[in-house]
A = this chain, B = another copy of it.
């Protein structure tokens, strides 16, 4: 099958490589010409040059050409760019496309998940379905063909099943399906917030017990948000919930985790983001979660504390002490 990947970031190129290995024809749209040349001429992932990719993968700076190329479009751009990218595709596409989103985030202004942003912005005549592909997947490990399990979630099961077939192989990628689209989206998004907080704890050298406790109590807050959005609890047990949360919250390879560590050293989050080559979704997600807490009147002590640390200059150690002094309660 022919598939276009919009976005030549580390994960977009990694996904393109899985698809090419699975014998699909793949074109990457990337506006940066240097990245395109690396893909076309050096056959490498432009974000980590040591990693070779399939020679048949093409890259182009021409969006129209890239969209015309395929009926399946993988959206591999930051969550904040989805609305404008879908707007661009509206003007280009001549027929319905199946969209596969891999971005994770909640739009702070609307509190929409990515699928809600998509349905809010896509032209009906090009809407051929929407699937979110999520799960614990450090790009470098996938590039090295390490075993990775993912979830393809869609309101329409047949679309999820198609994406499952496209990406799965018996060697290192195994894709499960889900029809709880919003649950998969909320899990994948909020985990970036918790991963960032986990990085703060790690930077403060608080240890593994505290980290496990954070993930656990953070998951409780994630579950509250998920219920407010109409997602199912059981989805959070899955790959896009706990699975993704674990890999992001304990790995030094995670951008959000690393950003949290820098926060612990006293750096300002805006400076950390400005210095990062790739988008760090965690801070934007923490803003969204803060808004969600207010809107739905949900108590989110950990996320709210993180908001204060990031945006209201609360000292991280003082923040931890406040959390420890809360009234004892049941789980």
- A residues within 8 Å of B by Cβ? 135-138, 141-142, 144, 146-149, 151, 164-165, 168, 170-172, 174-179, 206-213, 215-217, 219-220, 223, 233-239, 241-244, 246-247, 250-251, 253, 320, 324-325, 328-331
Query: Which residues of chain B are near A215, meaning CB under 8 Å?
Result: 242-243, 246
Given that A149-B216, A238-B216 are known contacts, is A171 also in contact with B208, CB under 8 Å in the complex?
Answer: no
Check if B330 sits within 8 Å of A177, measured CB to CB.
Answer: yes
List 10 contacting pairs A-B, 8 Å CB cutoff, sorted by A: A137-B209, A144-B207, A147-B209, A149-B213, A176-B329, A209-B247, A211-B246, A212-B239, A213-B243, A246-B250
- B146, B178, B208: which contacts A209 (Cβ < 8 A)? B146
A182 vs chain B, min Cβ distance (A): 14
Given that A136-B213, A331-B238 are known contacts, is A251 also in contact with B208, CB under 8 Å in the complex?
Answer: yes
With A177-B331, A208-B247, A208-B253 already in contact, 18 other A-B pairs whose C-beta atoms are closer than 8 Å: A138-B208, A142-B209, A144-B207, A149-B210, A174-B324, A175-B328, A176-B330, A208-B250, A208-B251, A212-B243, A216-B246, A219-B237, A219-B242, A220-B237, A233-B234, A233-B237, A236-B237, A250-B250
A200 vs chain B, min Cβ distance (A): 13
- Give the number of copies in the complex: 2
Query: Which residues of chain B are near A331, meaning CB under 8 Å?
Result: 151, 176-178, 235, 238-239
Q: In whole angstroms, what is the CA distance A91 to B21 when docked?
A: 68
Check if B209 sits within 8 Å of A138, measured CB to CB.
Answer: yes
Query: Which residues of chain B are near A235, meaning CB under 8 Å?
Result: 331
Check if B242 sits within 8 Å of A168, measured CB to CB.
Answer: no
A97 vs chain B, min Cβ distance (A): 24
Query: Which residues of chain B are near A246, meaning CB under 8 Å?
Result: 211-212, 215-216, 246, 250
Check if A210 sits within 8 Å of B148, measured CB to CB.
Answer: yes
